[in-house]
Amino acid sequence: MGKLAFVFPGQASQYSGMGKALCEKYSVAASIFKKANNVLPFSISDLCFNGPEEELKLTEKTQPAILTVSVAAYRVLENMGIKPDYVAGHSLGEYSAVVAAGGIKFDDAVLIVHKRGKFMQEAVNVGVGSMAALLGGNLEDIKKMCEEVRGSHVLMMANINCPGQVVISGHKEAVDMAIANAPKIGVKKAVILPVSAPFHCDLMKPAQEKLKVELNRINIKDLKIPLVANYDAEVTISSEEVREKLIKQVSSPVLWQDCVERLIAEGVNVFVEVGPKKVLSGMIKKIDRSVKIYHVETPEEVEEFAKIYKELKRG
């Protein structure tokens, strides 16, 4: 076996019912939900297990919900003696990764991401911003097109996810203009994303400033497991770098493809997506088909990966 990386999902991976079976089977998972319920001004277990979907889609609730499910699944694996060589997370998922690596206490993280969601929502009035996924097309061409069509508006590449998948973010008029121009540069499909704010662009600067105050208030420790950060796809361990990159990440592009390629360059050949759904697994497959990819969220997936892990360690 080469090296093992745990990767943690971001927003849009939520669904009603997530984490329920995990809590029923494992007390260590249930204790994470209990901690979140005690810290937050609402019941995260009730929201995750029962929905409704509409409430689960509210950014300030989505973020702590996904973090709680992801950390609960991680604690189950950790309890079984399964630990990764590296961690990474997509946007919000980076907080799950930092908790897993021992950088931030879960109680602090779940409250921070609840506030992060609030700040991101408040930064831009509903309807002012937009995000769209561009499928196909060349990275440099997309970047150039964004520069050409934005005029006085904000328009940026927000997520560089995998070959053929870039998400743009900014003022609605600029995003609409980019969608209209996209076929000219070889983009096969452009899809407006059902999000409540334009994340990872300069319009998030007010949210970044508020988040900075909150992150400066909490204790962040040096990581026990190296993190490959969204902001620059560099291996990060020091507490101050972690803090700085979590702050900058709010208004900067998520360099997910670069993160995965960096992990592979570091010797990672086994990826485990820890948390709801399999969004990252699909992206990783498009980046490099030769790596092994697993998913862990349900008790069945936990047991299955525990067996696979033993085999990998032997092999």
Residues known to be catalytic: 91, 200
The DSSP 8-state label assigned to residue 266 in this structure reads T
Q: Are 284 and 291 in contact (CB under 8 A)?
A: yes
Q: Are 178 and 133 in contact (CB under 8 A)?
A: no
At 270 the three-state DSSP class reads strand
Q: Are 98 and 109 in contact (CB under 8 A)?
A: yes
Helical segments of 42-132, H only: 44-50, 53-56, 59-79, 93-100, 106-123
Q: Are 274 and 297 in contact (CB under 8 A)?
A: yes
Measured at the alpha carbon of residue 275, what is the angle toward residues 270 and 279, in degrees to the nearest 5? 75
Residue among 63, 121, 57, 130 nearest 91 (CA): 63
> What type of residue is 53?
E
> What type of residue is 74?
Y
Q: Are 44 and 65 in contact (CB under 8 A)?
A: yes
